[in-house]
Amino acid sequence: MIATGATVEAAVNGWLAAGGMPGLTVVAPHALFVDRAIERLHWLPLKQIVVTHPVDRRSLLLFPARVVDVAGLLADTIARLHRTELPGRSRLRA
């Protein structure tokens, strides 16, 4: 989860200090972007940020970002769990 962006900033700066190349892709399931997160992330040399559930999609317009919709996958998983099914198998026996 990206909240303030401080951990992403520290990780990217550590990567660069260790000789890593700029242009990283950051992947996170939730994007809260609170406090100075947008400012922190805007200035990092990122290729893109990929999130599955941004709280505020407008924030993603400020830097290269991609939203991956996993709603269908989660709904299917919940339905299978409710029916006690596993992918590729019939109903579980008690």
d(CA 57, CA 18): 32
Confidence of residue 94 (pLDDT cuts 50, 70, 90): very low
Q: Are strands 24-31 and 46-54 parallel, antiparallel or unpaired?
A: parallel
Sequence-distant contacts of 48-51: CB under 8 A, at least 24 apart: 49/2, 49/25, 50/25, 50/26, 51/2, 51/27
| Encoded tokens for 24 | 């990283």
Tens of pLDDT along 14-70?
999 999 999 999 999 888 888 888 889 988 999 999 998 767 777 777 778 888 888
Per the model's pLDDT, the better-predicted residue between 87 and 3 turns out to be 3
Q: Would you state the pLDDT for residue 54?
A: 67
